[in-house]
Structure 1
Amino acid sequence: MEWDELTVFEKSLLLGTLLGDGTITRSKAKVTPKNGLQYREHFSVKQMEYREWKLRSAPRIFKGIKIRKTGTSAELYSEKDDLFTWLRAQCYDGRKKHIPIRLLEDCIHPVFLLALYLDDGSLSLTKSTRSKLNQMIITPHIYLYLQAFYPEELEVLSSFIARTFHHHFVLSRRSDGHFYTLRIQKTEEAIRFLNEFAPYAYAIPSMRKKLDWDYRLQLEREQHPDMTVISSKAKNDYTANEIEFIIQAKQNGMTDAAIAQQIGRTYWSVVYKWQDIKKNYLKEDRGVYVY
């Protein structure tokens, strides 16, 4: 099998999970085996459902799952194939894994970002209280723990994600690896990220806490029944007049950059707000756009 024979979905899932938890075996022989190298992914059996989803989603890539003798861990694996021999050359320098920049443009299905997040990402919560109002405010933070890669590679990956999937990650300092990982900086963007991938929680219920923001917020409310638990709001929320201006400007063909300059917002803020407007404001009775 060759890379160009794979579908966009298969390429996106394979590369996303290879940059995450996946590895490609390294032959000890001086000559690569005739039938090629093999993909392997070790994981805790607690995450079995997620790996079974991968296996079902890409049966041409993944062959099966083996549970180890201890019963606490398992391995998702592929057949040996020349595809993985080729991919190892693209993604590895000796034992060191790198981001294959030139392959990113082939991975434009959102499952690429989903695999990165479910493999190596986390939903972290900040909690603050207002005692006088008996409120607890929950703020979500999205991280991709990719500190094994060099910051220069993460910059390129961040730009690709922003350009392709319209989610803006920035470099964040760490004390391990190459000292940087990726995170979504703004609350509004973190919630939008979760809302976009929430439908996958139906296919992978064990990942619902990590994918479904409304569900996660409800769990927090159940854990604090004596308090009013609310989601934090983004600073500098858009006014109704700004939203109406963006809709009218889009109708008139104005660019995001021009809109941003006109209303005094950043370019990326307008890009993300337009995604939100299309999803939550443009109802059928408005008759503004048809998608």
Structure 2
Amino acid sequence: MNTKIGVVEVKWEELTFFEKSLLLGTLLGDGTIARTKSKSIPKKGLQYREHFSVKQMEYRKWKLKVAPRIFSGIRIRKTETSAELYSEKDELFTWLWEQCYVDRKKHIPIHLLEDCTHPVFLLALYLDDGSLSLTKSSRSKLNQIILTPHIYLYLQAFYPEELEQLSTFIARTFHHQFVLSKRSDGHFYTLRIQKTEEAIRFLNDFEPYAYAIPSMRKKLDWEYRLDLEKTKHPGLSVIVSKAKNDYTDKEIQFIIQAKQNGMTDAKIAETLNRTYWSVVYKWQDIKKNILKEDSLLYTF
């Protein structure tokens, strides 16, 4: 199969925020910019390529569909087990090569991150190079299986200093807190969301994309994944681990009143002896689940 769509030559600054976000997110993930061994660059420019298993065809077709100015087509290899998403040769990818590669090794172009503020940037990183990992423990006397979800971005090909800067950008832009986690390969670190409530909030934010890419539902839809786990353990009660130091009703009411009075998250955290990010996430949870009927009255 060779799906071909015409591609408009375009410069980085002419791309939309969505296009920039998807392109850089997937380039930091599974994508590469192909170069020949020759030092000279083809007159038509360089080319984007992304190899993948045909089992993930739906996801790549989605990329092709939503970004036809970037991606040109998909070709299946002779083995029919793998395929390639590709672009036409273009000066855009020559320019991106210069931004993302040093001595032919891919790096995170920190200076381009501020152009990638659409959530599809984080979605592409996650679907390309991330996973939803479940830690399971049992309480045999209570017939319970306890699940603790973790979100990983397997970006160990990058240096930890780069991952720190990427983590800061993600927290500031998308309000999801990743921390460095040790690995035994690459540059020995990847990114991870380790708190249960934060992992579930991450999945809830991106769950709508499960409808556009049904094959990724297991990775995006927490309720669906939870139901799958329950079917694996018939006769047992499958529950999700609770976060330690849950907020009391008194603390929740204080946060609501403090936000109405204009108090900053940092000041609330100091008053409650909580971390800044804990307060940020709890306020989002309060707005969604406690104040949902009055959402128009509490917009901050």
TM-score under structure 1 length normalisation = 0.98
Partner of 2:176: 167
- 2:228 paired residue among 213, 219, 224: 219
Q: Is the counterpart of residue 203 in structure 1 residue 212 in structure 2?
A: yes
- d(CA) in 2 for partners of 1:210 and 1:43? 17
5+ residue gaps, structure 1, are: none
Question: C-alpha displacement at 1:286, in angstroms?
Answer: 7.4
Question: C-alpha displacement at 1:285, in angstroms?
Answer: 4.8
Q: Secondary structure at the match of 2:292?
A: coil
- d(CA) in 2 for partners of 1:167 and 1:139? 17
Contact 1:39 1:78 in 2 (8 A): yes
Cα distance, 1:263–1:43 mapped onto 2, change above 3 Å: same
- 2:293 paired residue among 281, 284, 288: 284
Partner of 2:7: none
Cα distance, 1:169–1:286 mapped onto 2, change above 3 Å: closer
Q: Secondary structure at the match of 1:284?
A: helix
Partner of 2:88: 79
Q: Is the counterpart of residue 242 in structure 1 residue 251 in structure 2?
A: yes
Question: C-alpha displacement at 1:232, in angstroms?
Answer: 1.2
- d(CA) in 1 for partners of 2:186 and 2:296? 51
Contact 2:30 2:128 in 1 (8 A): yes
Contact 1:27 1:37 in 2 (8 A): no
Q: Secondary structure at the match of 1:24?
A: strand
- 1:25 paired residue among 34, 53, 73: 34
TM-score under structure 2 length normalisation = 0.95
Partner of 2:4: none
Equivalent residue runs for 1:133-144 within 5 Å: 133-144=142-153
Contact 1:65 1:74 in 2 (8 A): yes
Partner of 1:264: 273
Contact 2:287 2:295 in 1 (8 A): no
For residues 64-97 of structure 1, give each alpha carbon's deviation from its aligned partner in whole angstroms, at most 9, with x where no partner exists: 1000000000000011110000000000012210
Question: Where has structure 1 moved over 2 Å in runs of 4 or more?
Answer: 27-31, 283-288
Equivalent residue runs for 1:44-193 within 5 Å: 44-193=53-202
RMSD (Å), alpha carbons: 1.2
For residues 20-78 of structure 1, give each alpha carbon's deviation from its aligned partner in whole angstroms, at most 9, with x where no partner exists: 00000113333211111000000000000000111111010001100000000000001
For residues 173-211 of structure 1, give each alpha carbon's deviation from its aligned partner in whole angstroms, at most 9, with x where no partner exists: 100000000001211101110111111100111111111
- d(CA) in 1 for partners of 2:158 and 2:296? 46
Residue-pair matches, total: 291
Q: Is the counterpart of residue 230 in structure 1 residue 239 in structure 2?
A: yes
Question: C-alpha displacement at 1:162, in angstroms?
Answer: 0.4
Q: Secondary structure at the match of 1:54?
A: helix
Q: Which amino acid aligns with 2:13?
A: D
